Amino acid sequence: MSLTGVWMNELRSVLVLREHEDRSLTGQYRSMVGRDSRVRHLSGRTGAVESGRQMVAFAVCFEIAAPGPGEGHFSVCAWSGWSEIDGAGNYLIDTHWLLSGSVLDKEAAWAATKIGKSTFWRVRETPDEKLLTDDEALNKLHKSLEL
């Protein structure tokens, strides 16, 4: 099972991954939600396949051009979970994520981290960074997933 390819989640955010021999992950990520829709680099790690699952983790740093009152310009999100093949033969990465945003007021730091869940489905086996900026192609891929 290789994680190399193009992945899309339920919110249409796109992940282009390259899995290397040493189990490191590199790639790019484009969020379709939030306040930074630019393509961002990511890095991560993965484990060996065990009982049909492969553990995976990756992180992305974002920059917010116009933060809200009391917020800083940066955030970081880390996803952690596993990849597997579902009953229909689809490759997926099932994750939980932590998103931490910079805050200017230390007393507001308690609310600076959010947690959530996201599933990515592999939509192409070959990495294609050009796809990250092609909104028409991304819309077609999203519709093909029937999310």
Please enumerate in sequence order all residues whose Cβ is within 8 A of that of 100, keeping only pairs 6 or more positions apart, or say none.
75, 76, 77, 112, 113
Read off the pLDDT of residues 35-71 as tens digits, 9 standing for 90 and up: 888 999 999 999 999 999 999 999 999 998 888 888 8
Give the pLDDT band (50/70/90) at residue 108. Answer: confident
Distance CA 62, CA 94 (A): 21
This model's pTM is above 0.85: yes
pLDDT at residue 106, as a whole number:
85
pLDDT band at 105 (very low <50, low <70, confident <90, very high): confident
Q: Which fold has domain 5-136?
A: Lipocalin (2.40.128)
- Hey, where are the domains in the chain? 5-136
| 142 — pLDDT class (breaks 50, 70, 90) | confident
How big is the CA angle at 37 (ends 30 and 92), to the nearest 5 degrees? Answer: 25
pLDDT tens-place string over residues 89-103:
999 999 999 999 999
Q: What pLDDT is recorded for position 34? A: 82
Supply the pLDDT for residue 41. Answer: 97
Q: How many CB atoms lie within 10 A of CB 48?
A: 8
Give the pLDDT of residue 27: 97
Q: Is the pLDDT of residue 88 over 80?
A: yes
Q: Decide: 47 and 23 in contact? Cβ < 8 Å.
A: yes
The 3-state secondary structure of the chain reads CCCCEEEEECCCCEEEEEECCCCEEEEEEECCCCCCCCCEEEEEEEEEEECCEEEEEEEEEEECCCCCCCEEEEEEEEEEEEEEECCCCCEEEEEEEEEEEEECCHHHHHHCEEEEEEEEEEEECCCCHHHHHCHHHHHHHHHHHCC
In the chain, what is the straight-line distance between the N-terminal and C-terminal CA atoms, in Å? 23
